[in-house]
Amino acid sequence: MSLAPALMVAAVFVWLGMVIAISFLEAPLKFRAPNVTLPIGLGIGRLVFRALNLVEVLLAIVIVVACIACPPPARIITALAVAGGALGLQIAAVRPRLNRRSDQVLAGLDAPRSRGHYAYVGLEVIKVLALAFAGALLLST
């Protein structure tokens, strides 16, 4: 396997692992830890998801560069585009709404529960499935 496909495989599986570990393990568990209040959990979550999204964007850039250097089959590009699109929607549309709500909670206001979390989780599921599919296809080519 040449460098570009190897980088693509590595970036896809690192990205997949990070999303699973943070979104589906760390995020829900942090609120079960002793003495973690809602404001503390929200503060931690904002930092963690900002960092996760930054790393996701960097990994997506690595994948795009690798795709340019050594174009994979269309079905792999499609799966990667779905993952990238889900990330783009999270960053551009969902996170700003979630940040506004968490700003209200952190300011001490009794903000209503946000349905934005469901959108974010739904996009995470789409991203995980797309990355797993792309990764499996990359390993089989």
Query: Domain total for the chain?
Result: 1
Residues in the chain: 141
Distance (Å, whole) CA 102 – CA 108:
10
pLDDT at 105: 84
| pLDDT (tens place) for every residue of the chain, 141 residues total | 689 999 999 999 999 999 999 999 999 898 888 999 988 998 899 999 999 999 999 999 999 999 999 999 999 999 999 999 999 999 999 999 999 988 888 888 887 778 889 999 999 999 999 999 999 999 998
Residues in CB range of 130: below 8 A, 6 or more apart: 79, 80, 82, 83, 86
Q: pTM for this structure?
A: 0.94
**Domain with 63 in it:** 3-140
Query: 9: helix, coil or strand?
Result: helix
Encoded amino acid at 83, one letter: A
